[in-house]
């Protein structure tokens, strides 16, 4: 059965780790492994030989122990061979060290997989027990007899002067067994609750159960030693002691193997690729990890158009593609060419980079990038990260590329975008999908040219920014130029932009889709791309331990879903930090609820599949099978038609709660603080809803009718509550009333005043903006506040008029020298804030930059010390400027021109705009009626 779990490529388990393989370290690993095993074997053999030889000389057990404890390690006493005595001593020390190394390795593995706080505490306790065991065991071997002065001067030492060796061995064995049982008892039951295939569960269980083998050897070894000390007959004594040494060498070497499991697979894969080559993501990545103890473990546009009262959507979509000179609107008209369509294969293999030719070998293919001399970047466009999603791969989890190493693939042009579909508006929108393809799962990398690439050194790479485009989950592409934000931040990080399936192709959902394919295929695509980053970004000079995912609108909504994926059990396996700019949270229904099911049947009918009769009427083909058999053009047309058939400003195909990847409504899970990653930066714009509300809501009746449409589950009592939380006179407002931006902390509020509208129209705008974009950003900041992993959340508002949804795009996708939208000082401040968060895990910016570089004013600005967001101190950073001049671009006013000064300040997010925090709490309480 094909489902999320069935396809390992996208069922990223809580066991996912982030450190890449180290292809150039294989010989070191082998050398260390071989030396450890040889030393262990020789040391135990020497101990056995010494034991036999001294017994032949007539020495008893206690004299031997005393001799071996005498500095320097009993040399020359009883004419014992110096080398053998040294090996005996070294073997005695080496034994607890190897076992402790093994246990530490498995405990750290345990700690990385299960990130719940209770489990973390248990792991720390177990580590302490293991450390005490190793220390006690080592000291026990060195100082087994007491008092030491007597022992040093004795030729024959009586039993009464030594420790109770039997008691020592029994206590050490008890600690040994207890720590192993604790390790296994914690881990093994939890393994079977992970989102893994059966094979991976068995494999992971086996790693932990290695401890059981060590326990058995430890018990047998200790029993044999105790027996050797109790039995008087020399022959039995020698047999028991020799047997003890045999068990100890087995136990010690099993410990070595267990400790080396994290690093063994890399050299095996290098020297025996056919037998140990990494399986495709569809079968699950390597079950072993690197010697960092953090490697991979079973991983895995909004359109610019006018909408009512002369309102259009702006944003990052205006800054896609690479030309550094844009037209008047910043809209790039570069022709997007198709990338290679035949790349593929294991997401692994030998990896190499030639900076002279900019060839990067990712195992399944070799790509050749280009050097952008203007930006100083190595640019790779159209790198495939998954197979074509047409035909049998429709509505399935993404599959790893097939191998194509027949020739070097040029990575110099963007891939075709995924099929597009618009949202509903007042009229039907035609879409030209001639430049789209179902084969669209590609990504792009921009890396500063001076960064070492190809993992040629042991130096860590740069932090990584992964951009996830927006577009309501129905529009957009990965053709973004990230060079400006990277350059403004001193080339301190690497940029990646990704594409994912959209509309019906990525978010079709129903019970049948769930059973025969996967829901949320588009989100799974994104996770596959994040897996790719974990595996390969080191080849482009990036550090996969410092990945920040960043999105706007639906891209930010996607970030939010990754933050809560798998119930928040992924830790930092896919990313360390996340940034959400206006996170789009449309209604998130269950995968087979009435809304996604209605869209499914509407899509089937539009595609020509029988959705009118009972299932398999007169032997008809099941709907899902019919859809997978249709040609792409038919499905694209159906996608366009159904996508814009809903309510104003919405798309028909959206993420759902599937119980696997997304286990709960975001508002509920975020309240519980169950999140992935470490830190989060959440932002919204001051006037988010203006583009998404139908015009001409003039009267209270118009307003109530609008509420009934967008909240279909509301009763009259529920609507009355909304009117209470958004108070306003029911009188109609003159269309000639002044429109102006509110101050936020005092005066009129966004409930009834803005630059877009006043009265009931603005009331509707405020509700849509807060429920869909603003409150989710509040919930995200709160969820990361003082989280269990030492992370924090920060909150900001982008307030420069017009401050519509997407108006912040020019602040992070335009050259600071281009002041068409905002001043250079503001762009630098905003970009630096984002860059500091990506690089330093903290968005603080200096007073000089906050005040404006061109002013030369370095006077202390409180905004330079931005406190994290918390319930007890709900701080919001308000990014704004003075507005000396208004310039209309695309039908919208932008504050720009000479004399524009930064006014960046801190404010109380909870009381902001007349108590927005209280309103967001209200919307969260309605989760059963408003499934967000």
Q: Is 720 exposed, middle or buried (0-12, 13-18, 19+ CB in 10 A)?
A: exposed
Instruction: List residues bridging with 577 in a β-sheet.
Output: 548, 679
Q: Do 889 and 329 meet the contact criterion of CB atoms below 8 Å apart?
A: yes
467: how many CB neighbours lie within 10 A of its CB?
A: 25
Give the span between the Cα atoms of 74 and 302, in whole angstroms: 80
Place of tokens 């019970």: 511
Q: What angle do CA 507, 512, 517 make, to 5 degrees?
A: 60
619 Cβ neighbours under 8 A, 6+ residues apart: none
483 is annotated as an active-site residue: no
CA distance 888 to 873: 38
Cβ–Cβ < 8 Å for 100, 134: yes
**Rounded CA Rg of the chain:** 32
From the list 357, 368, 369, 365, the residue with the least C-alpha distance to 384 is 365
Beta bridge partners of 657: 590
Write the CB contacts of 216 (distance below 8 Å, at least 6 apart in sequence). none
Q: Which residues contact 597 (CB under 8 A, 6 or more apart)?
A: 509, 510, 511
Query: What does the CA dihedral 445, 451, 456, 461 come to, rounded to 10 degrees?
Result: -80
- DSSP code for 443: E
Q: Which of 553, 643, 667, 691 is catalytic?
A: 553
Burial of 864 by CB count in 10 Å (0-12 exposed, 13-18 middle, 19+ buried)? middle
Q: Rounded to a whole number, what is the distance in angstroms from the first to the last CA of the chain?
A: 30
Between CA 631 and CA 437 the distance in angstroms is 11
For residues 809 and 400, give the distance between their C-alpha atoms in angstroms, rounded to a whole number.
Answer: 32
Query: What's the full length of the chain, in residues?
Result: 932
Q: Print burial letters for 417-449: b (CB count within 10 Å at least 16), e (below 16).
A: bbbbbbbbbeeeeebebeebbbbbbbbbbbbbb
Q: Which two tokens stand for residue 174?
A: 């008890």
Q: Number of C-alpha atoms within 13 angstroms, CB side, residue 529?
A: 31
DSSP secondary structure letter of residue 127: H
Helix (H) or strand (E) holding 142: helix 117-142
Tokens of 502: 């959209």
Q: Shortest CA distance to 687 belongs to which of 582, 782, 779, 585?
A: 582
CB 240 within 8 A of CB 224: yes
What's the rounded Cα separation, in Å, for the pair 90 and 71?
Answer: 14
Residue for token pair 């990385």: 112
Q: What is the DSSP letter of 166?
A: H
Give the position of tokens 């008893």. 60
Give the C-alpha separation, 849 to 861, whole Å: 10
Q: How far apart are CA 138 and CA 92, in angstroms?
A: 7
Q: In terms of Cα–Cα distance, which of 198, 210, 38 is closest to 110?
A: 210
Q: Name the residues annotated as catalytic.
A: 553
């Amino acid at each position: 059965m094909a489902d999320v779990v069935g396809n390992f490529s996208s069922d990223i388990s809580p066991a996912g780790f982030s450190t890449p393989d180290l292809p150039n370290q294989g010989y070191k690993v082998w050398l260390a492994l071989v030396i450890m095993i040889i030393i262990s074997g020789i040391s135990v053999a020497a101990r056995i030989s010494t034991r036999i030889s001294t017994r032949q000389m007539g020495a008893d057990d206690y004299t031997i122990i005393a001799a071996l404890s005498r500095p320097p390690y009993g040399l020359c006493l009883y004419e014992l061979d110096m080398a053998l005595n040294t090996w005996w001593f070294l073997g005695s020390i080496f034994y607890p060290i190897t076992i402790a190394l093994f246990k530490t390795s498995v405990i750290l593995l345990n700690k990385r997989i299960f990130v719940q706080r209770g489990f973390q505490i248990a792991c720390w306790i177990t580590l302490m027990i293991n450390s005490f065991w190793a220390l006690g065991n080592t000291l026990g071997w060195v100082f087994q007899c007491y008092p030491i002065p007597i022992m040093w001067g004795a030729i024959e030492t009586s039993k009464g002067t030594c420790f109770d060796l039997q008691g020592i061995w029994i206590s050490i064995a008890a600690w040994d067994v207890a720590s192993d049982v604790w390790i296994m008892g914690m881990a093994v039951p939890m393994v079977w609750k992970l989102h893994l295939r059966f094979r991976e569960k068995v494999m992971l269980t086996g790693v932990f159960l290695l401890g059981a083998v060590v326990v058995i050897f430890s018990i047998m070894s200790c029993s044999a030693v105790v027996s050797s000390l109790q039995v008087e007959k020399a022959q039995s004594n020698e047999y028991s002691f020799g047997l003890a040494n045999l068990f100890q060498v087995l136990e010690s070497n099993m410990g070595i193997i267990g400790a080396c499991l994290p690093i063994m697979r890399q050299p095996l894969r290098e020297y025996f690729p056919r037998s140990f080559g990494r399986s495709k993501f569809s079968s699950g990545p390597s079950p072993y990890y690197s010697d960092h103890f953090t490697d991979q473990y079973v991983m895995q546009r909004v359109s610019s158009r006018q909408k009512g009262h002369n309102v259009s959507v702006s944003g990052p979509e205006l800054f896609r593609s690479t030309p550094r000179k844009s037209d008047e609107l910043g809209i790039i008209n570069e022709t997007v060419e198709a990338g290679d369509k035949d790349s593929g294969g294991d997401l692994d293999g030998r990896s190499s980079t030639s900076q002279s030719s900019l060839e990067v070998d990712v195992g399944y293919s070799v790509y050749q990038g280009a050097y952008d001399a203007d930006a100083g970047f190595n640019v790779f466009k159209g790198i495939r990260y998954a197979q074509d999603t047409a035909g049998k791969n429709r509505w399935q989890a993404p599959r790893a590329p097939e191998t194509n190493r027949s020739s070097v693939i040029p990575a110099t042009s963007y891939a075709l975008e995924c099929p597009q579909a618009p949202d509903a508006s007042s009229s039907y929108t035609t879409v030209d999908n001639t430049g789209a393809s179902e084969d669209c799962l590609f990504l792009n990398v921009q890396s500063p040219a001076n960064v070492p690439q190809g993992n040629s050194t042991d130096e860590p790479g740069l932090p990584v920014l992964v951009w996830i485009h927006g577009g309501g989950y129905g529009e957009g592409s990965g053709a973004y130029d990230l060079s400006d934000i990277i350059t403004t931040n001193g080339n301190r990080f690497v940029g990646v932009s990704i594409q994912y399936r959209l509309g019906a192709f990525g978010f079709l959902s129903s019970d049948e889709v769930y059973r025969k394919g996967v829901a949320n295929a588009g989100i799974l695509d994104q996770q596959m791309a994040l897996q790719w980053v974990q595996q390969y970004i080191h080849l482009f000079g990036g550090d996969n331990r410092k990945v920040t995912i960043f999105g706007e609108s639906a891209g930010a909504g996607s970030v939010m879903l990754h933050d809560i994926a798998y119930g928040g059990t992924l830790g930092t396996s896919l990313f360390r930090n996340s940034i959400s700019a206006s996170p789009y949270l449309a209604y998130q229904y269950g995968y087979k609820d009435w809304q996604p099911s209605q869209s499914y049947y509407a899509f089937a009918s539009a595609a020509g599949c029988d959705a009118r009769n009972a299932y398999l009427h007169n032997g008809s083909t099941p709907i899902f099978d019919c859809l997978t058999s249709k040609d792409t053009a038919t499905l694209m047309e159906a996608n366009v038609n159904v996508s814009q058939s809903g309510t104003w400003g919405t798309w028909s195909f959206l993420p759902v709660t599937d119980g696997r990847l997304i286990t709960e409504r975001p508002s509920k899970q975020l309240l519980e603080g169950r999140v992935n990653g470490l830190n989060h930066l959440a932002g919204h714009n001051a006037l988010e809803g203006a583009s998404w509300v139908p015009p001409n809501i003039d009267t209270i009746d118009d307003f109530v009718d609008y509420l009934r449409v967008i909240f279909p589950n509301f009763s009259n009592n529920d609507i009355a509550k909304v009117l209470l939380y958004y108070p306003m006179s029911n009188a109609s407002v003159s269309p000639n009333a002044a429109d102006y931006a509110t101050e936020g902390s005092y005066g009129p509020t966004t409930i009834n005043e803005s630059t877009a509208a006043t009265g009931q129209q603005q009331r509707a705008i405020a509700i849509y903006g807060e429920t869909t974009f603003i409150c989710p950003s509040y919930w995200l900041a709160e969820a990361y506040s003082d989280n269990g992993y030492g992370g924090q959340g920060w909150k900001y508002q982008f307030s420069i008029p017009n401050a519509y949804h997407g108006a912040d795009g020019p602040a992070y996708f335009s050259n600071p020298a281009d002041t068409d939208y905002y001043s250079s000082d503001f762009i630098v401040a905003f970009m630096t804030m984002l860059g500091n968060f990506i690089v330093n895990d903290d968005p603080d910016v200096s007073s000089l930059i906050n005040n404006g570089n061109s002013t030369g004013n370095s006077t202390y600005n409180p905004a330079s010390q931005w406190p994290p967001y918390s319930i007890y101190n709900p701080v919001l950073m308000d990014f704004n400027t003075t507005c000396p001049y208004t310039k209309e671009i695309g039908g919208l006013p932008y504050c720009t021109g000479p004399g524009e000064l930064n006014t960046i300040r801190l404010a109380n997010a909870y009381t902001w705009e007349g108590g927005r925090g209280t309103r967001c709490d209200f919307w969260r309480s309605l989760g059963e009626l408003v499934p967000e």
